[in-house]
Amino acid sequence: MKKFKNGVSIFYLAIIFLFLYAPILVLIGLSFNNSMSRTVWGGFTFQWYASMTQNDSIIDALGTTLRISIFSSILATILGTAAAVGICAMKKRNAQIMLGATNIPLLNADIVTGISMMLLITRFTHLGEASVMVSHIVFSVPYVIFNVMPRMQQMNASCYEAALDLGASPVYAFYKVVWPELIPGVLSGFLMALTMSLDDFTITYFTKGAGVNTLSTMLYTELRKGIQPELYALSTVLFLLAFGMLFLMNVKKEPNQNRKEAKA
């Protein structure tokens, strides 16, 4: 009976994984397809991998995507970490107001956030690349704050006070006592901000200026006239990079905190 139950479990997981990975396998397949058509298999080729670095519009969109994601997630991390440290020192009522406001971009529909930022920005200046960066910070700061806050709250305040009593300056005490405790939260907040920013379409779509294209918005405009096959190749490379990175991180973490990780 137990064996049967196990078999059913594994079969069910396999079906779900097939559902999750089928589109990805299709895309990886297309990146090797020697045909411009999406539905016809024209033989195996590496030519899209070779030509993707020569395709200016794609390299341009990749550059824009990376610039926006990296800048916005770094700034969001700085802003959010400072905010989390500050909010923890606030009176309960003020802290609740701040956290309530922090929830707004998380709970609001993306389309509403995007439109509201567009309305604000077009009133005072014009849309461009900077407007996308600012809007990305708006939706990524909450992820940083909600990753750093628990770390702050779990920390024993006496350690910091002890450092001060022993003659450390507040900045030195923060750097030596508080900061090392915060790092994991800051890092996971940064990674979440980066992921959300890289994958965002809706907010970018509403806040980008003419001529600014990230990979997502470029793909959207190409959906009707046909996707350049180099984009499949590029996405496959990016996916494999992410896979490698996450895989390494996962393997490294495995031995000591398997159980803890599942809870986080």
Using CB under 8 A, which residues numbered 224 to 243 contact other proteins? 227, 231-232, 235, 238-239, 242-243
Using CB under 8 A, which residues numbered 127 to 166 contact other proteins? 134, 137-138, 141, 143, 145-147, 157, 160-161
Helix 215-225 vs helix 56-88: crossing angle, to nearest 10:
140
Using CB under 8 A, which residues numbered 79 to 108 contact other proteins? 79-80, 82-90, 94, 98-108
State the amino acid at position 91 in one-letter form: K
Minimum CB distance to other proteins smaller for 63 or for 170: 170
* Tokens found for residue 211: 């001529």
CB 102 → other proteins: shortest distance, Å? 7
List helix spans (H) across the chain: 2-30, 47-51, 56-88, 92-107, 110-124, 129-154, 157-165, 170-173, 179-199, 202-207, 215-225, 229-263
Using CB under 8 A, which residues numbered 106 to 125 contact other proteins? 106-113, 115-120, 123
36 binds other proteins per the rule CB under 8 A: no
34 binds other proteins per the rule CB under 8 A: no
9 binds other proteins per the rule CB under 8 A: yes
* Tokens found for residue 152: 């702050």
State the amino acid at position 119 in one-letter form: L
175 binds other proteins per the rule CB under 8 A: no
* Tokens found for residue 224: 């009707």
168 binds other proteins per the rule CB under 8 A: no
C-alpha closest to that of 99 among 145, 139, 137? 145
Minimum CB distance to other proteins smaller for 107 or for 180: 107
CB 107 within 8 Å of CB 46: no
